[in-house]
Every structure is written in structure tokens, then in C-alpha cells.
């Protein structure tokens, strides 16, 4: 059913894809991969430089059909409200800095999406974002003490105003009846709730943004088009070779800037470009599976998202959760993730992907990761060996009264974790994302698996600051960026008044059901924020404060992990 719906939603894009792809002069931008990252970057660039020629190449027959497809990711608006892997610690002390960075980034995402709604780029917010409360749940004395301390630390920060905490079983049962029914009454439990959590359909977002890009004469979409070669020209532009997978024909195009946003395929393409910056990287593919149900009687009782803690010794990507989902109009519950292993770098990839990415420069760092991450290896082996009964038993830890007849196993997207060669420490496995660019900024790629779609506006904004630093520093781009993201260059966690204004604006524009943020919008105040210059010490290249925030976020992105299917 979801394939049919995706096809119908994407049909205007199929018509757009019939446009010619050749150009006599180098185009300004080539985007590789028709997912949320390319759609977000293209949307930024079209508003910042509407005269630039942008070409997008997607190897599948429609956009948003790999990682961005709603069936292939977790669909959460990851804002660190419920994800306890962002807050390491115990009952004595909990670190919240990573969570604060993620929450700041998601607030920027809300502003970016709200601006696109205002501009008519995104339409009908209910098709791509809805309010779904976010809960964290723990059981056992030690984890209850941890969650109690986490709540105390987080509610000191204005970002988490409205967070609720309870150890009362009856109250928690009101929040999550399916989860509490039939649970052992002798085991202590605790939970937090943030009612302003969100469920996001990144596939719908991607399709709408790319369709809006197609309204410009300066944008070209080519489907069934796989980039097979990247070669630097004498003038430092890039010669891009593309194969049409339907006809078998090859064409080429020159571009002044290339962005590789092709998910797991990004690493091989970056290696194909031959830039020295790619030598430090390798990739480790991990797949994900979920149990899901569309039984309306079950779904109606759990229209929330609930996250628990990863098991002892398990990697952060194994965080178990049961989520309400809206899959292109079909309500469902997803539980997982369960890790799988394949040598493919994409769900629709080739079993040779992993072996083809091994080079002289990354073979030893890859071996080091295998030797130094025994817990991960043991976890993956255990996951691959799981039976249907094992997976259902894991579901019952969350939903004790689950009926196996209601649940079906679904294989979600394939992700490639970063292996990076550190000069001092050797090969290290990183669960974050990283933008890798050539020294001259003419080509850039997004590597890694998370934070992903939830923070795509922040990730692409940092890319703009890195590869278009001169333009970002200009008055024209600064003014436009402040229109797109009114809090640009400022920390919302340090400015509660601005935080309240931004949440009220985004809740209203995105039609979110957030009573605490439904105050009538102060138009004059918002206009003042949008027209404000960055802080006085932050006038160059997107502002010093923004650069500091970006550095902190980049570091956090390299350390943080979301679940496999994000």
C-alpha cells in the first residue's frame, strides 16, 4: 500500500524528471541523491540564489524512496525529549549537553519548515508533521534513579519547560496504557512526558520540497540516473558522469559545486572523486528491522512514542522504542529496532558495496574497529541470530499483553556508520554524521547515519557556512538566512523569551497541537526578531556565536547516536 501511495504522491515529480539534463556551461550545483538532505540544501540554495542552476540525480524511479521513505526510518522529530542515549550518566549525575545541542537543532528545523510553509514550499503541515507526545520509560531501581536525575537536570533548562515526571504507576498507565497493562507490579517504574513531541514524515517533506524546486526553470530532476564518475576539471569544476538505468545511456555534466547526499552511497562516490579528505574514512553497514501493526484497536491505545534505555553493553543505536506512526495516511505502531547485517550500503544497493569501499588507506582502521568494538560485534551477532519468538519476547518487555497475530516484521533502511582514522587513536567507529568537503569547497558529502533527517536543516546550514563562507558572510545571505531561520546565530537555551516566540510561531504555522505554545503570535515581536542582526561579536561568516554553536553541534553529531532506522 505504501508503495502505491508514494507513487501517486510523487507523480508530478515523474513528469518533471522528463526535462533535459545537458548543459553547455557548468551548472552551479549538482545534487546527488533524492532524499531529505538534497531537498533541504536545494531549498536553501534556491531561496538564497534563485538564479543558480541546480541539477538533482536520483538512481531510483522516484525521490524519497530510500532512507527518507517513511517506512525506512523511525519518523520521530528527534528533539532529545525521550532519547536517553543523549544524556549519559547515572542516578548521581547526568550530562545533558548533547541533549541540549540536539534540541537546539530540532528547534531550528521547526523554524526552517515553518518558513517553507509560509513560502508555499511545504503545504498542509498535517501531511508531514503532527504532535505525538514523547515519553521516556525505565524500570528497575537504578534506572529510576537515573531518570529522576535526568528530569531534574533537564528541567533546569528552558528548552524542557513542560516536561513531566512520574513514578506513580496509575499516572504512567494513563500516559501509556498498552505499556503498563500486565506489567510486573513489584518492579519500580518511572517515566517522563513531553506533550510537544512530534511525528514527522520525511518522505512527504522531501517530495513536497523537490516538487516546489521543480517550479523553477533553473532546476532539473533526473530519475533512474546513477552517478558513475566524478572527475575534477582544470578549472576546478567537476565532470559528473551519469548513467540512465532504464536506457543504459551515459551522459555527463560539469558543475561548480557537487553535493553527495546519497546515503550509504555517499562514501563510494566521495572516494570516486579522489579528494584526499576521503582517505580518512571507511564505512560499516548496519540494517534495521521493526515489528509493526496497523490493527486499529491496538493503534488507538498508543498514539504516543515511548523510548527505553539500551541494554547493558549494547550500542546506543539499539535503543528500544514503540512509536505511533502516520505512514502516508495509514496509522501504525512500530517497535524495534532489530539490527541486521548486510554488505549493502543501500537497501536497494549491491552486496559488493562494502568490499568495493575498502582501500589501502582505510583497511587497517576498519580492522582496528572490529578488534576494539567487541560489544558491537557481539550485539550484531546476537541480533542476526534472533528468531521470531525472540523478537516478540522483546516486544513483550514493552507491551506485555501483545498478540503475535497483530505484528509483522518489516525490514527498514540500510545505514552506513562512519569509521574514521584518527592520527593518534587509529580507526574509530562514529555513530554521528559528518560533512566532508574538499579544501576548496567545490565538493562535499554527508557521511554517517545520525543525527539524520530531524536535524537536516542544521546540517545543511553548517555545510553552507563551510563551503559558501564568503556568501554566508554577505549582507544579502545574512538577511535571507534570518528570514529562513529567525533565531540564526543565537542559542535558544540562553534566550527563553526568543524560545517562547519561536515555539509559538512554529506551533501555529505547522498546526501543531501544543497548548503551552498556542499563545497568539506577537507579529511585531516576530518581525523584530527576523530583522535583527546577529549579535555584535558575530558579524562574520554566519556569526561567531553561530560558528561556536556549529562546532559544538558538529562535535555532538560525531558522538550522538539515534536508532538504526533514523
CA distances (Å), 26 to each of 252, 383, 429, 445, in order? 11, 48, 37, 20
Which pLDDT score is estimated for 505? 97
Q: Are 432 and 513 in contact (CB under 8 A)?
A: no
Q: Are 309 and 319 in contact (CB under 8 A)?
A: yes
Which pLDDT score is estimated for 451? 56
| Rounded distance between C-alpha atoms, residue 226 and residue 59, angstroms | 4
Architecture field, domain 27-75+201-484: 3-Layer(bba) Sandwich (3.50)
| Rounded distance between C-alpha atoms, residue 527 and residue 522, angstroms | 9
Per-residue pLDDT, averaged over 180-193, amounts to 94
| Rounded distance between C-alpha atoms, residue 188 and residue 519, angstroms | 38
Which of 189-198, 260-269, 436-445, 550-559 shows the lowest per-residue confidence on average (mean pLDDT)? 550-559
- pLDDT tens digits, one per residue of 205-244: 999 999 999 999 999 999 999 999 999 999 999 999 999 9
Sign of CA dihedral 408, 392, 295, 127: negative
Band the pLDDT of 450: cuts 50, 70, 90.
low
The secondary structure of 222-272 as a DSSP string is ESSEEEEEEEE-TTS-EEEEEEETTT--EEEEEEEEEEE--GGGHHHHHHH
Q: Are 158 and 493 in contact (CB under 8 A)?
A: yes
Does 522 score more than 70 pLDDT? Answer: no
Per-residue pLDDT, averaged over 24-30, amounts to 91
Q: Find the helix or strand (DSSP H, E) in which 191 lies.
A: strand 189-194
Output the 3-class SS for 433-453. Answer: EEEEECCCCCEEEEEECCCCH
The DSSP letter of residue 279 is G
Which pLDDT score is estimated for 6? 42
Which grid cell is 96?
A: 545533558
Does 525 score more than 90 pLDDT? Answer: no
| Rounded distance between C-alpha atoms, residue 370 and residue 276, angstroms | 24
Q: Are 259 and 30 in contact (CB under 8 A)?
A: yes
Which pLDDT score is estimated for 7? 40
3-class secondary-structure state, position 346 = coil
Q: What is the pTM of this model?
A: 0.87
- pLDDT tens digits, one per residue of 77-113: 999 999 999 999 999 999 999 999 999 999 999 999 9
CA 105 to mean position of chain CA atoms: 11
- Higher-confidence residue: 355 or 510? 510
| Rounded distance between C-alpha atoms, residue 201 and residue 327, angstroms | 7
Does 434 score more than 60 pLDDT? Answer: yes
Which grid cell is 481?
A: 538566512
R_g over Cα of the chain: 23
| Rounded distance between C-alpha atoms, residue 478 and residue 456, angstroms | 19
- pLDDT tens digits, one per residue of 192-201: 999 999 999 9
* Orientation angle between helical segments 2-16 and 202-213, nearest 10 degrees: 10
| Rounded distance between C-alpha atoms, residue 442 and residue 309, angstroms | 41
pLDDT cut 70: percent of the chain above it: 85
Which pLDDT score is estimated for 545? 41
| Rounded distance between C-alpha atoms, residue 561 and residue 418, angstroms | 12
| Rounded distance between C-alpha atoms, residue 58 and residue 150, angstroms | 43
Burial 115-128 (b: 16+ CB within 10 A, else e): bbbeeebbeebebb
Spell out the residues 6+ positions from residue 222 whose beta carbon is closer than 8 angstroms to its own: 17, 21, 55, 56, 57, 58, 242, 244
| Rounded distance between C-alpha atoms, residue 223 and residue 33, angstroms | 10
Which pLDDT score is estimated for 528? 52
Band the pLDDT of 523: cuts 50, 70, 90.
very low
Amino acid at each position: 500500500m505504501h508503495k502505491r501511495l508514494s507513487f501517486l504522491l510523487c507523480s508530478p515529480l515523474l513528469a518533471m524528471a522528463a526535462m533535459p539534463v545537458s548543459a553547455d556551461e557548468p551548472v552551479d550545483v549538482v545534487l546527488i541523491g533524492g532524499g531529505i538532505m538534497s531537498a533541504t540544501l536545494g531549498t536553501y540554495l534556491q531561496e538564497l540564489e534563485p538564479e543558480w542552476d541546480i541539477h538533482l540525480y536520483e538512481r531510483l524511479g522516484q525521490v524519497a524512496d530510500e532512507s527518507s521513505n517513511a517506512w525506512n526510518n523511525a519518523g520521530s522529530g528527534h528533539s532529545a525529549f525521550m532519547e536517553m542515549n543523549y544524556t549519559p550518566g547515572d542516578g548521581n549525575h547526568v550530562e545533558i549537553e548533547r541533549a541540549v545541542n540536539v534540541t537546539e537543532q530540532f528547534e531550528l528545523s521547526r523554524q526552517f519548515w515553518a518558513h517553507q510553509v509560509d513560502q508555499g514550499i511545504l503545504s498542509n503541515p498535517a501531511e508531514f508533521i503532527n504532535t505525538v507526545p514523547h515519553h521516556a520509560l525505565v524500570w528497575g531501581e537504578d534506572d529510576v534513579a537515573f531518570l529522576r536525575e535526568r528530569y531534574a537536570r533537564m528541567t533546569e533548562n528552558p528548552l524542557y519547560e513542560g516536561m513531566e515526571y512520574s513514578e506513580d504507576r496509575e499516572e504512567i498507565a494513563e500516559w501509556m496504557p498498552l505499556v503498563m497493562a500486565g506489567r510486573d507490579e513489584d518492579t519500580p517504574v518511572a517515566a517522563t512526558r513531553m506533550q510537544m513531541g512530534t511525528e514527522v514524515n520525511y518522505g512527504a517533506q522531501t517530495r513536497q520540497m523537490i516538487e516546489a524546486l521543480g517550479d523553477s526553470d533553473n532546476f532539473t530532476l533526473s530519475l533512474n540516473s546513477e552517478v558513475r564518475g566524478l572527475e575534477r576539471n582544470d578549472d576546478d569544476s567537476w565532470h559528473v558522469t551519469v548513467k540512465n538505468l532504464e536506457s543504459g545511456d551515459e551522459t555527463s555534466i560539469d558543475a561548480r559545486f557537487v553535493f553527495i547526499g546519497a546515503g550509504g552511497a555517499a562514501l563510494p562516490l566521495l572516494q570516486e572523486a579522489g579528494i584526499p579528505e576521503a582517505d580518512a574514512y571507511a564505512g560499516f553497514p548496519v540494517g534495521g528491522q521493526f515489528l509493526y501493526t496497523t490493527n486499529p484497536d491496538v493503534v488507538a491505545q498508543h498514539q504516543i512514542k515511548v523510548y527505553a534505555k539500551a541494554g547493558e553493553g549494547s550500542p546506543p543505536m539499539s535503543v528500544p522504542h514503540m512509536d505511533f506512526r502516520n505512514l502516508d495516511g495509514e496509522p501504525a505502531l512500530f517497535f524495534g529496532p532489530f539490527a541486521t547485517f548486510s554488505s549493502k550500503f543501500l537497501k536497494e544497493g549491491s552486496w559488493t558495496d562494502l568490499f568495493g569501499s575498502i582501500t589501502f588507506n582505510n583497511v587497517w582502521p576498519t580492522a582496528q574497529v572490529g578488534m576494539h568494538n567487541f560489544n558491537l560485534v557481539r550485539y550484531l551477532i546476537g541480533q542476526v541470530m534472533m528468531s521470531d519468538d525472540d523478537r516478540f519476547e522483546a516486544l513483550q518487555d514493552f507491551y506485555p499483553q501483545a498478540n503475535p497475530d497483530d505484528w509483522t516484521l518489516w525490514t527498514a533502511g540500510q545505514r552506513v556508520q562512519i569509521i574514521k582514522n584518527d592520527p593518534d587513536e587509529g580507526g574509530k567507529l562514529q555513530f554521528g554524521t559528518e560533512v566532508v568537503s574538499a579544501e576548496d569547497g567545490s565538493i562535499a558529502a554527508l557521511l554517517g547515519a545520525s543525527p539524520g533527517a530531524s536535524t537536516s536543516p542544521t546540517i545543511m546550514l553548517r555545510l553552507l557556512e563551510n563551503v559558501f563562507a564568503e556568501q554566508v558572510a554577505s549582507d544579502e545571505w545574512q538577511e535571507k538566512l534570518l528570514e529562513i531561520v529567525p533565531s540564526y546565530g543565537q542559542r535558544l537555551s540562553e534566550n527563553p523569551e526568543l524560545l517562547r516566540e519561536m515555539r509559538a510561531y512554529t506551533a501555529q504555522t505547522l498546526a501543531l497541537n501544543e497548548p503551552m505554545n498556542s499563545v497568539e503570535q506577537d507579529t511585531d515581536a516576530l518581525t523584530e526578531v527576523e530583522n535583527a542582526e546577529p549579535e555584535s561579536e558575530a558579524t562574520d561568516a554566519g556569526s561567531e556565536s553561530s560558528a561556536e554553536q556549529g562546532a559544538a553541534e558538529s562535535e555532538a553529531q560525531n558522538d550522538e547516536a539515534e536508532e538504526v532506522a533514523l
